[in-house]
Structure 1
Amino acid sequence: MDSLCKDHFLQRQYRKLDGGVLWSRNERNLDCTVTFQTHSILQRFMLHFDLLQLDCNDHLYVYDGAHATAPPKADLSCRNTKQQVGALFTRSNFVTLKYVTDNWGTDANGFKLVITAVKDPIFLPEHGCKEFRCKQREFCVSADLTCDGVDHCADGSDEDTAALCPETGGGSAGEAWVAIAAGSAALLLLIVVALLCCYCRRRAPNRRTHLHLEQMASSNGAGTKAPCSPGSATRLPGNWAHPAGPRGYRAARPGRLRARAQR
């Protein structure tokens, strides 16, 4: 409601509509007037509340016409409930709403008003209903108002999921099952990826240890298989005829070796 009451050049223009929902959510210090008009002179407005819980200092005035001058058709405040008010009908193809609030209130204060342009059954034999006919009072309303989640006929016939909107009810259930299946598949995929990551992390240290042992074995000669016979041992590289002593290996001169032999 507050957005419709902003001070701009369209505020005083008549707003034509086939149907709509007007919300009020604890607006404070509000004093605004809004006028709606039907698209056809053969139509009039039906108003009913899905929520009506006003503060005792707040007032919603409903005028049957294009101006807020004559005595209002309804003066709604805290003493009124949606069951008590029921459905309101205008005689003309205009309806004017004036909403006045004070500077105090709670989040529970406000209203939800459904406004629908209807064509009376008395005009239907001559002009017919080329759109949608309500079930109980046989009003003719715009076909665009059916299956939109709002009870514009005030009897639920324009939102009948069994006869009129089967795809709406079935679609919701189908979409819910598709969402559940997609979520389950995504969860299963995450579990598989996590298990694969854990498996790869556990195998990586074992593989590195195995490669390290193979490199050590190949470097110290253990990588070559020796024959099983005792006499065929593998000869390691080095000068085994003259091993190094405590001072280290030094090549012996031939003269010294002969001198030692004569002694």
Structure 2
Amino acid sequence: MGTSSPVVTVDTIVPMARPIGAGDELDTNYMDSLCKDHFLQRQYRKVDGGVLWSRNERNLDCTVTFQTHSILQRFMLHFDLLQLDCNDHLYVYDGAHATAPPKADLSCRNTKQQVGALFTRSNFVTLKYVTDNWGTDANGFRLVITAVKDPKHGCKEFRCKQREFCVSADLTCDGVDHCADGSDEDTAVLCPETTTELNTLNTTATVDTTSAANITADSGGSGASGTWVAIGAGGVVLAAIVAVVAACCACRHRANNQRTRLHLQEMASSNGGGGSGSAGGEGATRLPGNPPPPAGPCGAARAGRLRRAA
């Protein structure tokens, strides 16, 4: 597999985060952070429960130890995820040290269904995690650790439904199945606030979706109205242009008619029109090639008829 990187070796008693109560965000403890922190104090830190998460750490040789609050308690461990590489091993020891033969040696051959729940006899548990320098993003585990007490010793906290172990009440309704039967996360009975919050979130999401739909519809209506306004304005402009063109055509037609009448009047005058035959003959301008009309009443009458026709 090529040249391997230096192996990180840590042997510590690790403090866990405080128990997560209802409404708090789960504080997950990652193996790479726990194993690479060389400044953790070497002292026993008592825990009610927590989550350990491995994310395909490489070249680790790490040992961590946890202790319960009371000597009457012991640890229950179960996996939400277990998918190790065949060269990686997670050793579980029933005690404060990784010296005796392990209670479990977990590797790629093990599944979370096969392992089920593990219980210690003492109030300590020690985990040793050894990995090589190869793996995929799918490799790792998510381990739930819970301090439990037999109810025969008295149970003033929360009692799990199926196994009837007592666990800290602070571990209920935190989003983690500490009892391994789901009873500490029963939203219908134990966690009404969680149900209410979920309903509130769903209602808010529905309102937001409806508002978004209304906004979209309003936007669509506004767009359609704007389109009709633009079409109407275009129609008005087109009608105005047509009216102007029609007016111009009418003016030109009227001017042509006036010029035609004037031309006919000029032709009538030039062809003998006037008040009398002599006066008209003297005052009118005759066009070349037009002989004067015959003198007499007929000629005058003919000119008059021409003027009336014009």
Q: What one-letter code is carried by the residue in structure 2 that aligns with 1:6?
A: K
Q: 2:119 aligns with which of 74, 81, 89?
A: 89
Q: How far off is 1:155 after superposition?
A: 1.7
Matched, 1:120 2:150: yes
SS at match of 1:71: coil
Are 1:50 and 1:111, in contact at CA under 8 Å, matched by a contact in 2?
A: yes
Q: How far off is 1:208 after superposition?
A: 10
Distance 2:230 2:113 in 1: 73
Show the 5 A alignment for 1:1-263: 1-10=31-40, 12-124=42-154, 129-169=155-195, 171-196=197-222, 198-200=224-226, 203=229
Q: How far off is 1:131 after superposition?
A: 1.6
Q: How far off is 1:188 after superposition?
A: 0.8
Q: How far off is 1:197 after superposition?
A: 5.1
Q: How far off is 1:173 after superposition?
A: 4.1
Structure 1 residues 94-126: Cα deviation after superposition (integer angstroms, max 9, x where no partner): 1111100011112222111110011122311xx
Structure 1 residues 198-253: Cα deviation after superposition (integer angstroms, max 9, x where no partner): 53475378669979x99xxxxxxxxxxxxxxxxxxxxxxxxxxxxxxxxxxxxxxx
SS at match of 2:184: helix
Q: How far off is 1:11 after superposition?
A: 6.2
Q: What one-letter code is carried by the residue in structure 1 that aligns with 2:176?
A: V
Structure 1 residues 131-164: Cα deviation after superposition (integer angstroms, max 9, x where no partner): 2011122211111111222111112211223322
Unaligned runs of 5+ in 2: 1-30, 241-310
- If you compute each CA radius of gyration, which structure gives the higher value, 1 or 2? 2
Structure 1 or 2: more helix by fraction: 2
Distance 2:218 2:163 in 1: 60
Distance 1:109 1:75 in 2: 16
Q: How far off is 1:41 after superposition?
A: 2.5
Are 1:5 and 1:11, in contact at CA under 8 Å, matched by a contact in 2?
A: no
Distance 1:8 1:96 in 2: 18
Q: What one-letter code is carried by the residue in structure 1 that aligns with 2:48?
A: D
Partner of 2:23: none
Q: What one-letter code is carried by the residue in structure 1 that aligns with 2:172?
A: T
Distance 1:15 1:5 in 2: 16
Structure 1 residues 4-44: Cα deviation after superposition (integer angstroms, max 9, x where no partner): 11132116443432111111121111111111122222221
* Alpha carbons of structure 1 residues 197 and 81: separation in structure 2 relative to 1, 3 Å: closer
Q: What one-letter code is carried by the residue in structure 1 that aligns with 2:207?
A: A
SS at match of 2:87: coil
Distance 2:217 2:231 in 1: 23
Partner of 1:252: none
SS at match of 2:229: helix
Are 1:11 and 1:34, in contact at CA under 8 Å, matched by a contact in 2?
A: no
TM-score (norm 2): 0.61
Q: What one-letter code is carried by the residue in structure 2 that aligns with 1:19?
A: G
Q: What one-letter code is carried by the residue in structure 1 that aligns with 2:161?
A: K
* Alpha carbons of structure 1 residues 208 and 55: separation in structure 2 relative to 1, 3 Å: closer
The 10-residue stretch of structure 1 (173-182 or 130-139) with the greater mean CA deviation from structure 2: 173-182
Partner of 2:269: none
Distance 1:200 1:86 in 2: 66
Q: What one-letter code is carried by the residue in structure 1 that aligns with 2:36?
A: K
Are 1:41 and 1:93, in contact at CA under 8 Å, matched by a contact in 2?
A: yes
Number of paired residues? Answer: 218
Distance 1:88 1:201 in 2: 71
* Alpha carbons of structure 1 residues 7 and 165: separation in structure 2 relative to 1, 3 Å: closer
Unaligned runs of 5+ in 1: 215-263
